[in-house]
Structure 1
């Protein structure tokens, strides 16, 4: 994992890490510009170069080829897509297919490449003498944050993993460390980062970078992840789920949501952790972020939240962006979720728009919740619709069927298309992966007609910190505090406020717990969060198998014990002889 060289262009050196994590500057990589550690120097610019080299790994190694965020996203209950995309990894086949192997390689190797560069950067920044302590500390803090986040991705996905030595070594034979040891390393790095980095209110802070609040917020999430996983087996959680359809053929119809109560299974590696102590720490860190100890943060108004102009707003505590149309520093997030247009301003999607949410996810929401009224695409047209003047509409409900077609669900004419559908286009719906609850989160980009658009990927938002705080306070026996922060998130999206009394009251710890977990499913849909919530709460197998093969796009959600962890790639066994066994169920 030792990094011999970092590739940085002259433009990269000037702009620093914000070019990779912000959205107001762009990178052009010069493949002939090789800058070795000896050439970087000892200055504030040099420290910035090292930090930039760490940020760049998120895009160039992990997101660039389109495997991220798929490896984090597809294996979840409310996510769906076409069989050619979901038929391997999305169906639980984490090993043995080219697609699954590529996805695994992106996560394992991508994270360790980032960690290797972070260790190298930290060593060189620490050795600098010609920079102020504040600049040095902030640069080291940023590097530590990214290293910690990479290990957080790894330990959730693989369980015990190697912790690479921070010292310069060529020894690739590093054994797996226990889950609690990895978390100790993550926590130590994040605690250091929280105290070393600038706050977002400091004059020296650069918008788009991670900051002290980013580290504190991630610490709250790390502690909550450990705490939930350590909760006793048998803890009750209710999930609204079930098979997608009733009937078959001409009688096929969407099945209603069913409330199913699952009993938590023990989560391997977390058995000896103290959930109460961990939730206490999660609450403390989240509280300190919320009360401003680490900077100023706010929930953006929903109509501003997913605008490209908002991507460095304080709600986005850690996000990864890319350069528009750039072959090296580009992602396919926009293509995967929204699809790219045939030409700028075109009405037709040329390709993409493959990953969406299921009808059961859509039905979790109240009628006027902005996360479906504004956050879901309700009409769109693809390349094949040009000749027939056609288009898709969503969802298949009485209301939308009448607005889009003038007919009710029984096929009876009750009027003419109205509202946005009264444009002369013949809209229709089908029960395939062509018609899913497609998010609009990644639609606002500089050029919607390019495959490599500059969509912003949100790894950590302030809304997450609010819901983590609500979760922790509920588990600590403080529902009055929990519901305040749950309702802050709901109110932003025009959802009715939850209550501790009256009809539908969240008047037990289990009801509040289930409501918060469901709120997370709604708020962070298509943000690669759902699988990891199911895993940490020990309900992954039950939630997936409640759907089984009865899935919106005819995909397969059936899972077994081996799916709880990803298999370690064979490439690691070939180079790291300290690892001799794969995760259970994987060869």
Structure 2
């Protein structure tokens, strides 16, 4: 981890060149003799630098484990822990130096620093072909915007720079207004949209496209309640992009075949690839959070096992199996097992099918409460688990993190249209999603603007739960505290007792304040935490 005030750029560049990756579009032959003084002399070197930015997203403090999920998915009304773990997040025990997101802060500023460095070296560089230069600039602008998207979402006003500051400048930098940062990011993304390819194929799958930049720009507008530009960007994706809603909701999340993990609904993903020989950071451990532990499952796991005819199930030594042993043997017979951490499970209200609209096919694709005929002790997110013991091993999973997809585009378009003009023209967007969610179809109609406004909140929960959107949705609607205080939690979590208005933001990490007290100049309270 690097502090924002301590940069080792030349080491990072060399690290990019020497890093061995299993993600195909990150693979590059090492080019000996490249330094910060002679870098970016050709297209391959520029692409190699950009590949390094993607690599930062693989950090455990971002997308590889639960880094980003702690800020976006946990601490709301969807996901919590299956036992007394991760309590600082779930129970809102956050303070300066305690769960203040220091690791995530550092990784995001690593991305910001290197984006600034690379952009200055690539933009206008005549050593590069026009096509390579345009794509590299577009990708860097996207990555920087994604970085500040997270920084402003989590901490609000934050240190901001467009050109790489000196160490001295970084040691005294102050916070810039969130609105100023986001305005610049929207302009940058508008430029990126003109520079990036519309799609990729083969080994380039996973790179940021024109439509990824359009989606990120729409998200910024959504967060700022800028309804017309949000709708404009969403309609551009719907009308012009190659992306579309899949016919089957469950297929959106099907990554059982490591060679076929992309589909037309995915707009931007963080691409992870497992190594069958050794565990490298090209793989993800986030899946383990959603995979059950066999020590928890199934329900009534310690009872003596009997088969479907009521006969005792015996081990080779003649003793009777317990339920969990028999259950595990059935899993293993189909090359599966429950080897995860079991941390991230649905909260009781979401797991209860009675709280979903009757006939919603998304429930069974999202929630699992029994498996291969056995009732489970906990509910789990089927959309985020993978029990495959051949291609998706504990600590070494290849599942991509789906950051943006078309389902969200349609919901954003529906919300924006309703806020602008009422529900009449908004139905077309939400009903497009509901066509695949229900059989027979159950479209919306006859709502007031306020009815639609409230209904879209639940529709986003059911469509997008455990995908990294819920907490920011509740914050932008101004209802995070009310929801957290009223939703049912399990006995080991008590967020309703602790959550306060300040918790819509995190405090600037204490270690950063110790390095740079100027970060308190514009807000001595540190977002209300002192």
- TM-score, scaled to structure 1: 0.73
- Secondary structure of 1:436's counterpart equals strand
**Which of 434, 438, 449 lines up with 2:381 in the alignment?**
438
CA separation in 2, counterparts of 1:467 and 1:484?
10
**Which of 522, 542, 555 lines up with 2:493 in the alignment?**
555
CA separation in 2, counterparts of 1:565 and 1:357?
23
- Secondary structure of 1:69's counterpart equals helix
* Structure 1 partner of 2:290: 337
CA separation in 2, counterparts of 1:215 and 1:347?
38
Within 5 A, what are the aligned runs for 1:193-208? 193-200=192-199, 206-208=204-206
* Structure 2 partner of 1:499: 444
1:353 is the counterpart of 2:353: no
CA separation in 2, counterparts of 1:108 and 1:222?
19
- Whether the aligned pair in 2 keeps the contact of 1:63 and 1:330 (CA below 8 Å) is no
CA separation in 2, counterparts of 1:224 and 1:56?
28
- Whether the aligned pair in 2 keeps the contact of 1:8 and 1:33 (CA below 8 Å) is no
Corresponding residue pairs, total: 467
**What is the deviation of 1:29?**
12
Within 5 A, what are the aligned runs for 1:209-228? 209-227=207-225
Cα RMSD (Å) of the superposition? 3.0
CA separation in 1, counterparts of 2:174 and 2:268?
30
- Secondary structure of 2:269's counterpart equals strand
**What is the deviation of 1:465?**
1.1
Within 5 A, what are the aligned runs for 1:60-209? 60=59, 62-64=62-64, 66-95=66-95, 100-101=99-100, 104-126=101-123, 128-167=125-164, 169-170=166-167, 171-172=169-170, 173-200=172-199, 206-209=204-207
Q: Say if 1:59 and 1:344 are closer, same or farther in 2 by CA, change over 3 A.
A: farther
**What is the deviation of 1:194?**
0.9
- Whether the aligned pair in 2 keeps the contact of 1:73 and 1:531 (CA below 8 Å) is yes
C-alpha deviations, 1:431-486, integer Å up to 9, x for none? xxx51343333427662332221111111111111111100000111422211110
CA separation in 2, counterparts of 1:557 and 1:62?
23
* Structure 2 partner of 1:258: none
- Secondary structure of 1:76's counterpart equals coil
- TM-score, scaled to structure 2: 0.80
C-alpha deviations, 1:51-77, integer Å up to 9, x for none? 101100000363346434233321112
1:530 is the counterpart of 2:470: yes
* Structure 2 partner of 1:36: 35
Q: Detail structure 1 runs of 4+ shifted over 4 Å in the superposition.
A: 9-16, 27-30, 32-35, 339-347
**Which of 215, 225, 228 lines up with 1:280 in the alignment?**
228
| Unmatched runs of 5 consecutive residues or more in structure 1 | 20-26, 228-277, 381-419, 422-426, 502-506
CA separation in 2, counterparts of 1:472 and 1:132?
40
CA separation in 2, counterparts of 1:525 and 1:579?
35
* Structure 1 partner of 2:16: 8
**What is the deviation of 1:357?**
1.5
- Secondary structure of 2:421's counterpart equals coil
* Structure 2 partner of 1:369: 360
| Unmatched runs of 5 consecutive residues or more in structure 2 | 295-327
